[in-house]
Structure 1
């Protein structure tokens, strides 16, 4: 087993990843067999989520990894870098100086995987549908600034925005902008089951819940992706240890993602205990936050939330629970993203039981404060271990009496949106690598429906940053927004991921598998020599 370091070039201003020996230039690999990708993701049809593969009703990393590979968007993030490039579109640009009107011209001859023609009407239908269905579980919040969509002929689409938004092209490059077939999908109802029809690089041949998903090359795809394999088989595991064994015995070729393996398994891979497997470490853009429902009496007093922030020792959490496979995070915006500022550390300093006790005493709050912390977990997640650590840490201070509650993965987000939890943890994989996408989803677009609001962020700072296409000019305003979040404390940032990809020798393209928004690009994987 070998270990290599991959640095996401888009985030650090580099032109190429720092990675050695993963194959030279050339065409497609010589082996035409499907590449098997191991996953501990939980994608199931349930009462709470009957349509997990519909772009209008899915807004989590697990499903977006599949949607990004099977649906086509007008734009797509490139192999490396953060500037969206045309995919279904031939070209896109703002046609006004205020960044309020965005026009795209489609490529000629676009088709869905079933052979249906893809025209501008399908694009308009897809966005109108997203806004009409308006699912709490979907990414409609990303399109909250969209006023209307118009077409001119079969190949031109015009987006009219409510206000300036220089980030709109980034949003079009996410599955929120996935183009669906208007002959297959209903305009006002989700597409139920584990099935889909898209125009992306792959088509979904089958999906057996809890077992595997089979993707094959979509011969009707017409875009900017260069395929390096003929198909992908995603093998689902309910135990990350079983997945690690499958990687070791060769029945799985690749495993990727920040939560695919538990920390002890990652350290075993790093130590070379799995023969013929290479572990690649990437700069991570995923984050972990502790959220508060500030309408709940147990956490409504700001002093309670401040005291928790003053007690949490991120260094011991990342060292002891995560074995340094994640990094401490002191801001809603992670390190590596332009505009990052350590606002929580600047305001609350090092962990201090004395300071937390004084905060509660000064506010006249009796201790111990009783709180329930709710979490969800999957086979590769350490959310359970994190929850136990949090409980012990807060209770050991004598200032809190924390109880734990575990909720099923598929119903967790819906219950969080419904205000069922007082205090809970969630990870965040960015839609696009910009500070905007770590703030707006929770404070402005507010897809979690948090009671917290900030007029300064929503009415002044965020609109001002969205009016500026030169993102280097937004650093000061984003710093101010991070300070406001730290001061008002509707959430506490805890850690940011390190991205890991484990692959058997002979699998190429690993260095390009995870893009700058932490989404997998399966088409980059190949057998043998590729470029």
Structure 2
């Protein structure tokens, strides 16, 4: 008999709200009582990335926002606080002082939305599958430290790690650790398209056009057993090609909530207009934006060239003139509000200075102007990115030390080309997988790093990162994380630019906005509800 044929039943920073907007509709949308959320995330299936919602492939905040609501994980981040709590698990914890063996006990009676039982064997299958598929641009780095995972009965799972890792519980709370039905997913290949089978708070129905997601309908999953309370019965996520179209839909009442991604001018309008139909909720954010360098490329191979760029970039001008103060300058890979943050780039370079940049290049015998191309993808990061890179080009060229060009590349081409080392300097963004400084450091360094960067630093890879992961008391790792940040400022394999804030716009009567986005930028759709209109 099929072992699953029969199943027994069983972020937040300081928030500021400002009223703005117009319109009379309540955002009920086309699905009756569903709450309609607008997004201009681009989620698409391509030949190189055919499975945008498969946990073995997906590794971007847009896809993870969907998956976070559909898939269950052993642990989940709570509404507030930075320590994971049990979700599919009843209990979890390290079994040794070295943080190398981690054991979880599942809740009894767990089922997937299709009715199949969720057992320890499914947990083992989910992690082994990601390792077997080994998708190059996927989230494998988050689970690559697993040496072996085994089931100890129907409800017990034991993880044996290759090396100590105090951050492992946080990794189990990410969609990279999503639990899959071993009878529904192939063990060694991606599931192409947008169909998913999970055991999370919602089931998912999708609509697409030209292999791009146009609508995602989340319906409360009656079989879900876990850590969250679902405050609505249905949420409809509509995708817009342009932020301005999403704004029009919000004004008309065709959508009731908007999070990703409001353009700076839209935020300013909502923030500064004193009307009563739309509320803007602002909170501190952990998104960062940076320039990445292919340190094997001849134009930026010299550390002096990268240091000169770090000396010239005016972050204050970017955040003021391009982003209208909806972002803040960032002087480290580790953002403010995260433990161990230090302003390493400001400490090294201070204010922008042409004379200091000239001296750096002269001392290294670099002939000027240095020709360099800055690449970016406005399709993925928004049209304001073009203005940002135009400003960066001007800052470099106005110094007389660089002859910079820029190029805008479609995302489907951009991401794999960057990973293949085809761009000398290119813009990237990062939302944290989990709230720990490790996640702003470890993914960027060593073999198999997120950027596929050729840059290597043995001190960071072999000493500092391993040592920080041995510290269960994270305050004891602060000095080593600060050391990493200082090395990065000196060698400039990446150049931090700015840190984002988070904004959620909601029409009158929608509740839960302040909890609806976590520190990592993922949607918590279950927090949204309907209350009494003001």
Shared fold per TM-score greater than 0.5 = yes
1:272 aligns with 2:269: no
- The corresponding residue for 1:337 is 338
- The corresponding residue for 2:202 is 202
Are the equivalent residues in 2 in contact too, given 1:254–1:503 (CA < 8 A)? yes
- The corresponding residue for 1:524 is 527
Alignment size in residue pairs? 507
Deviation at 1:376, TM superposition (A): 0.8
- The corresponding residue for 1:461 is 464
The within-5 A match list for 1:217-256 is 217-256=220-259
- The corresponding residue for 1:75 is 75
- The corresponding residue for 1:5 is none
CA distance in 1, matches of 2:314, 2:459: 30
Over residues 57-111 of structure 1, what are the superposed CA-to-partner deviations in whole Å (9 max), with x where a residue is unaligned?
A: 0100110000111100000000111100000000100011111000000011111
Q: Provide TM-score, normalisation by structure 2.
A: 0.92
Q: CA RMSD in A?
A: 1.7
- The corresponding residue for 1:103 is 103
- The corresponding residue for 2:479 is 476
- The corresponding residue for 1:313 is 314
Query: More deviation in 352-361 or 87-96?
Result: 352-361
Deviation at 1:411, TM superposition (A): 3.1
Query: More deviation in 168-177 or 208-217?
Result: 208-217
2:511 corresponds, among 508, 511, 528, to 508
Deviation at 1:458, TM superposition (A): 1.2
Over residues 180-211 of structure 1, what are the superposed CA-to-partner deviations in whole Å (9 max), with x where a residue is unaligned?
A: 11111111100001111111111112232352
Q: Which runs of 5+ in 1 are unaligned?
A: 1-7, 23-30
Are the equivalent residues in 2 in contact too, given 1:248–1:274 (CA < 8 A)? no
Are the equivalent residues in 1 in contact too, given 2:379–2:410 (CA < 8 A)? no
Are the equivalent residues in 2 in contact too, given 1:99–1:164 (CA < 8 A)? yes
Deviation at 1:518, TM superposition (A): 2.2
Change (3 A) 1:357 1:19: closer
SS of 1:308's equivalent in the other structure is helix
- The corresponding residue for 1:136 is 136
CA distance in 1, matches of 2:234, 2:351: 50
Are the equivalent residues in 1 in contact too, given 2:256–2:507 (CA < 8 A)? yes
Q: Detail structure 1 runs of 4+ shifted over 6 Å in the superposition.
A: 19-22
Are the equivalent residues in 1 in contact too, given 2:203–2:220 (CA < 8 A)? yes
CA distance in 1, matches of 2:383, 2:172: 30
Deviation at 1:378, TM superposition (A): 3.2
Change (3 A) 1:273 1:42: farther
Deviation at 1:248, TM superposition (A): 0.8
Over residues 420-455 of structure 1, what are the superposed CA-to-partner deviations in whole Å (9 max), with x where a residue is unaligned?
A: 111001110000011100000101451211111111
Are the equivalent residues in 2 in contact too, given 1:19–1:511 (CA < 8 A)? no
Over residues 3-39 of structure 1, what are the superposed CA-to-partner deviations in whole Å (9 max), with x where a residue is unaligned?
A: xxxxx44xx7xxxx656899xxxxxxxx981111100
- The corresponding residue for 2:367 is 366
1:301 aligns with 2:293: no
Change (3 A) 1:124 1:267: same
CA distance in 2, matches of 1:115, 1:207: 23
Deviation at 1:222, TM superposition (A): 1.0
The within-5 A match list for 1:155-174 is 155-174=155-174
Are the equivalent residues in 1 in contact too, given 2:16–2:282 (CA < 8 A)? no
- The corresponding residue for 1:350 is 351
Over residues 267-310 of structure 1, what are the superposed CA-to-partner deviations in whole Å (9 max), with x where a residue is unaligned?
A: 01111266510111111101011000000001101111011000
CA distance in 1, matches of 2:288, 2:410: 21
CA distance in 2, matches of 1:329, 1:464: 26
